[in-house]
Amino acid sequence: MEEAYGILNDGGENAVIGGGAWIRMLPRELDAAVDISGLGLGTIKKEDGRYEIGSMVTLRQVEMFKPFSELFNGIISKSAGAIMGVSIRNIATAGGSVAGRFGFSDLIPALLALDTSLFFHARGGISLEDYMESKDVGKDILTKITIKDHEGRGWFHTMKNTSLDFAVLNAAVSNSDGRCRIIVGARPYKAVPAYDAMKFMDECGGKTPAAIREAASIAAGELKFGGNQRGSREYRIELCKTLVERGLSEVFL
């Protein structure tokens, strides 16, 4: 690990390559590609009430890990399983998907809807939410992703033009003891919580269909959306309202 960290920070155009599945798509050349496959980071285990996903665990391992098919109605399995085909999910890693903070990520919204933390070799632990909002994340090595094992309902949906494309929009919603999380990703910007909509849901008395519709409208109004070849800004705003309303209905009604 020290050797890998040293190479990563030797001043060159160096990067940890994760599974390496998308490395050829990078619009830049690397001086050194750091492969951390041999560092024992390829397993999922449970410790002190949290699931620990080694950063080199493949998306397929995440998808097939039995407890994830039940945790919050299986949103982790569903989001990992929505990415490309099995032959790519056997290569691409959870760490690579998260560390890159990609806007198109299907996994990040589901993780953000739960109590998720990241652990880096040098900087130590940080919540995924803080990591997503960090201005400068520096060159560090993600070693594990941890998720609190607790009770609650969850919902995830990724809206795609074809199953092999990136999402037009994705959303994850959770409800744990009445506390709500609403995450919208692929806007096409990176996934973020809809804080105003979450506050509205937490503070509104009855979780009625009308209140849920209002929260979905608040989420669509507070978040920034953009247009690209997959969908226009206006289309994404409408999708956001629909997905968030469906998600909240699933976890509250």
Partner 1 sequence: MKVRFLVNGEKKTFEVKPDEYLLDTLRNNNYKSVRRGCETSSCGICTVLMDGMPVASCSLLTAKAEGRHITTVEGIQEDAELLAGFFGREGADQCGYCNPSIALACYAMKRELKDPTDEEIKAYLVGNLCRCSGYSGQHRAIRAYLEVK
Which one, 22 or 189, has the nearer CB to partner 1? Answer: 22
Query: Which residue in the set 6, 12, 40, 85 belongs to the binding site for partner 1 (CB under 8 A)?
Result: 85
Task: Name which of 4 and 216 has its Cβ closer to partner 1.
Answer: 4
Contact 120, 130 (CB under 8 A): no
Closest CA to 197 of 172, 233, 234, 222: 222
From the list 35, 129, 238, 250, which residue makes contact with partner 1 (rule: CB under 8 A)?
A: 35
Nearer to partner 1, 77 or 174 (CB): 77
Shortest Å distance, C-beta 37 to partner 1: 6
Phi, psi for residue 36 in degrees, rounded to 5: -105, 25
Residue type, 174: S
- 90 forms part of the interface with partner 1 (CB under 8 A): yes
| CB of 86 or CB of 122, closer to partner 1 | 86
The contacts of residue 203 (CB under 8 Å, 6+ apart) are none
In angstroms, rounded to a whole number, what is the distance separating the alpha carbons of residues 253 and 247? 10
Sole binder of partner 1 in the list 3, 28, 87, 135 (CB under 8 A): 87
What residues numbered 164-193 form the site for partner 1, per CB under 8 A?
164
Task: Between 27 and 205, name the residue whose CB sits nearer to partner 1.
Answer: 27
Distance CA(25)–CA(103), nearest Å, equals: 15
User: Measured from the CB of residue 59, what is the shortest distance to partner 1 in angstroms?
Assistant: 12
Those residues whose C-beta lies under 8 Å from the C-beta of residue 86, and which sit 6 or more positions away, are: 60
Encoded one letter per residue, x for contact with partner 1 by CB under 8 A and - for no contact, window 3-32 reads --------------x-xxxxxxx-------
Q: What's the Rg (C-alpha) of the chain?
A: 18
Give the C-alpha separation, 98 to 111, whole Å.
Answer: 9
| Per-residue DSSP letter, 9 | T
CB 236, min distance to partner 1, A:
23
Least distance CB 34 / partner 1 (angstroms): 11
Nearest CA among 161, 152, 153 for reference residue 186: 161
- Residues interacting with partner 1, by CB under 8 A? 17, 19-25, 33, 35, 37, 60, 81, 84-88, 90-91, 163-164
